[in-house]
Amino acid sequence: MGKQESQVLRKLPSVDVLLKVPELQRYLEQVGREVVVSSIREAVDEIRNLLLESSSLIVHGSSMNKEQGTMNIIDEDTIRQKIVASAELRIKAIVRPYYRKVINATGIILHTGLGRAVLPAQALRQIQNELSGYSLLQVDIETGKRSKRDECIERLLRQLTGAETAAVVNNNAAATAIVLNTVGKGREVIVSRGQLVEIGGSFRLPEVMAFSGAKLVEVGTTNKTHPHDYVNAVTENTAAILRVHPSNYRIQGFTSEVPLEELVEIAHEHGLIMIDDVGAGALIDFSQFGFEPEPTLPESIRKGADIVTCSADKLIGASQAGIILGRAKLIDAIRKNQFARIVRAGKLTLAALEATLKLFLDESIALREVPTLQMLRRSLSEVTNQAERIASQLRQRISKAAVTTAPGFSQMGSGSLPTQELATMLVALQPKKISAEQLASRLRHYSTPIFARIQNDQVLIDPRTLRQGDEEVLVEALVEALGRSD
C-alpha cells in the first residue's frame, strides 16, 4: 500500500468510536450490539473501498466520477457522517419488515408480486383476535382427541359447493400434484394438448405430472380436441381424465374442447376418475358482472367431476391455499397420502380461509366485504372521479411533470379472467426533469412503497386498486418524488 493510500485510510474512524455516535447508539437496545457492529463494519468497508479507489485513480492519473474524486479530499468528519448514514440504512433495512404494506397503483387486482388477494377485514380480525396466543387447530373440543385441522373448512366447502367432502393444502399446484399422485401414480392420465399449461414461476403441468408419478397421455391438438380423442386414448393402464381450465390464457378462433359433462360421461363409462382443475376457483357466477362465463366450483361438482381443485387466493379472495373437493372415498385417500403432511396448510392460512369462506354463505355479503370482489365491481364512473380528483391535486402542487387522465384497462391478474379487461381511468404523469423509470423508482422507495405502471415514458396510476387511505399517501409521495432537486 502506498503512502497516499495509508494517509487516506487514517481518516477512517474505528468501530468503537462509531458505536458511541448517538445516531447508532440508539439502535443497540433495539436490535442488539452484534447487528449494529456488523452494519458499521460493512459501512466502513464500503467507504474504505471508495477512498482507496479514488486515491488509486489520482496516483495513476485516471479519470474518476464526482463521488470518487471528492472522497480523497473530504475531511474526517464528513467521512464519519457518510459511514454513520450508510450503517444506519443497513440497520433500518434489518429492522423494517420485508413483508410490509405497499400501495398497488397498477390496476392489477390479483398482483402476484404484491401478495395477490387483499384479505377481507374479517380475516385479519380473526387472525389478530383468535391467533394471538394458543389457538384451536387440530383437537376436537368434544372428545379432546386429535382431529382434522381443516375440518371447519371442509364443512364450509361442502355447504358452498355441494361436494361430498373437501381438503386444503398450501396451493393449487400442490393440490394437483397430490391428487395425481394418489389416483394416478404409475398409471396414465389423459389431458388435452390445449390444456398443458405453464403456471407462475415456469412450473408446467407435464413437469408437475411427472413429479406426481403419473404418466401424461396427450390427446387432440393445441386448438381442437374431440370426444373420440379421449376414448381412443383409454387403455387398461388409464386411471383418470384431467381437465385443466386455462386460467391464464385463451386460444381463440378455430378451436373446440370437450365440455365437462361429456368428459364425465366418457370417464365414468370407462371406470376412470374425472379430475377438474378449475384454477382460479370461482364460488359465484362472474358473468353477472359482464365477464365471459367462468367455471364455478358448485357447477363442476354438479356436473359430476369426481375431484375438483383450485386456488383459494384468486377469485375466492382468501389466503394462498389449494382446495380439493369431491367424492369422500377419493378425498380420504388423498388425506392418507404421505405427501399430505408435506403440503398441509398452517393455522394462519386456515383462519383467513375460514373467515373468507363464511362471507360467501351470503353472496351479497361477499360482494360487499371481499376486497377482490369490491375492486372488480368498482364502476368506471367511480374510478374516473377518483382519477380526476388525484390529477387535480397533483396539478395544484407539482410543476415538474405533466399530469393528465386517460382511459385504460385494469386486469384481474394472477391467471384469472384472462383477456377480460376492466375499463378504467388512468392518471398519467410525464416528468420533465427525470425519466419515468426514475420517478417509478422513487415511488417504490417511498416510506410506503408504491407500485405503478410505466408506459411511453409516463408513470400510470390506476385508482381501481387503491385501498382506503392510499390516495392521500400516493399524492404526498408524488409531490415529494417530483419536488426533489435533481
What are the residue ranges in the chain where pLDDT is below 70?
Answer: 1-8, 55-74, 198-203, 247-255, 414-419, 484-486
Closest by CA position to 153, among listed 363, 323, 280: 323
pLDDT at position 60: 47
Q: Return all residues near 28 (Cβ < 8 A) that are at least 6 apart.
A: 19, 36
Measured distance CA(357)–CA(178) in Å, rounded: 23
Strand partners, 320: none
Whole-number Å distance between alpha carbons of 347 and 484: 45
In tens, the pLDDT along 166-215 reads 999 999 999 999 999 999 999 999 999 888 776 655 567 788 888 899 99
Distance CA 309, CA 323 (A): 5
pLDDT of residue 253: 52
**How open is the CA angle 80-84-86, to the nearest 5 degrees?**
115
For residues 284 and 160, the answer to whether their CB atoms sit within 8 Å is no
pLDDT the model gives residue 5: 62
Question: What's the Cα-to-Cα distance from 447 to each of 82, 101, 430, rounded to whole Å?
Answer: 21, 10, 22
> Which residue ranges form the domains of the chain, and what is each CATH number?
3-95 (no CATH), 103-111+376-483 (3.90.1150.180), 121-369 (3.40.640.10)
* Cell numbers placing 412: 384481474
Grid cell listed for 435: 425519466
User: What's the rounded Cα separation, in Å, for the pair 223 and 378?
Assistant: 35
Residues β-bridged to residue 428: 404, 460
The string of DSSP letters for 65-97 reads -HHHHHHTT--HHHHHHHHHHHHHHHHHHHHS-
| Digit-coded pLDDT (tens) for 269-292 | 999 999 999 988 899 998 887 787
- The residue among 295, 284, 297, 320 whose CA lies nearest residue 116 is 320
Tell me the one-letter amino acid at 230: Y
From the number of C-beta atoms within 10 Å of its C-beta (0-12, 13-18, 19+), residue 22 rates as exposed
Element (H, E) at 218: strand 215-219
Rg (CA), the chain: 29
Element (H, E) at 397: helix 380-397
Q: Compute the distance between CA of residue 130 and CA of residue 392 in angstroms, rounded to an integer.
A: 43
Read off the pTM.
0.86
pLDDT at 279: 87
Per DSSP bridges, beta strands 322-326 and 165-169 are antiparallel
So what's the pLDDT on residue 66?
46
pLDDT digits (tens, 9 = 90+) for 70-124: 444 567 888 889 999 999 999 988 888 899 999 999 999 999 999 999 999 999 9
Q: Which residue has the cell 463521488?
A: 67
CB atoms within 10 A of CB 139: 12
Please enumerate, as own/partner, the contacts of 395-401 that have beta carbons within 8 Å and a separation of 24 or more.
397/475, 397/479, 398/478, 398/479, 398/482, 398/483, 400/431, 400/432, 400/433, 400/434, 400/482, 400/483, 401/429, 401/430, 401/431, 401/432, 401/439, 401/482
CB atoms within 10 A of CB 75: 9
